[in-house]
């Protein structure tokens, strides 16, 4: 059963900020992964940590295949299956966030790198802008509380097109 609620009428919005990255504590992340593997009784293998090291080096969203190809080009001997399974484990222990922006493949990003942000995605060129708008957190809180929930986080994806798709610097065509 859905509750109804009154959302605030948004006044002229405060400026939407491009989201800035936070420093990554690789040691803490590796400890978190080690504890997760131990707790869930998964094998602690060198290959999984090679994948984790490659993940920690990524600066943008990436797919499993992109990470696999990066590992192969660096002459790291890890199977595609190990990459996929390790990304799944990293997602399950909250080191990675998995997104489906468009198309069939999932993309990942480090949870610690960009907490509490949203995405604006061009459907023509695939360019992704990460942003943070305080109004969205306010709406999240109001919607959750009005329905008897305790808000934790939200994920918003806005699909749009670049202003001028012909001269877009991000166009991959």
* Residue that finishes a domain, picked among 97, 113, 129: 113
Residue 111: pLDDT band with limits 50, 70, 90: confident
113, 56 Cβ separation under 8 angstroms = no
Looking only at the bridges linking them, the beta strands covering 118-122 and 157-160 are parallel
* DSSP codes joined into one string, 45-60: -HHHHHHHHHHHH--S
**pLDDT for 113-161, tens place per residue?**
666 777 788 888 878 787 878 888 889 999 999 999 998 877 787 888 9
Q: What's the burial of 149, exposed, middle or buried (CB within 10 Å: 0-12/13-18/19+)?
A: exposed
Looking at the structure, tell me whether residues 162 and 102 fall in a common domain.
no
pTM of the model: 0.68
Question: Does residue 32 fall inside a structural domain?
Answer: yes
Looking at the structure, tell me whether residues 22 and 82 fall in a common domain.
yes
The position carrying tokens 């991959």 is: 172
Q: Provide the number of structural domains found in the chain.
A: 2
123, 161 Cβ separation under 8 angstroms = yes
């Amino acid at each position: 059963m859905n509750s109804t609620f009154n959302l605030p009428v948004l006044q002229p919005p405060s400026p939407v900020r491009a989201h800035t990255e936070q420093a990554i504590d690789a040691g803490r992340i590796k400890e978190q992964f080690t504890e997760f593997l131990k707790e869930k009784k998964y094998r602690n293998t060198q290959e999984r940590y090679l994948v984790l090291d490659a993940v920690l080096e990524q600066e943008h969203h990436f797919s499993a295949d992109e990470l696999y190809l990066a590992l192969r080009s660096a002459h790291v001997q890890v199977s595609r299956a190990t990459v996929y399974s390790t990304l799944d484990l990293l997602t399950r222990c909250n080191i990675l966030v998995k997104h489906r922006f468009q198309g069939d493949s999932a993309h990942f990003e480090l949870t610690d790198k960009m907490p509490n942000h949203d995405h604006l995605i061009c459907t023509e060129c695939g360019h992704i802008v990460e942003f943070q708008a305080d109004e969205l957190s306010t709406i999240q809180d109001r919607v959750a509380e009005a329905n008897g929930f305790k808000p934790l986080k939200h994920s918003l994806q806005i699909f749009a097109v670049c202003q001028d798709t012909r001269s877009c610097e991000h166009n991959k065509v």
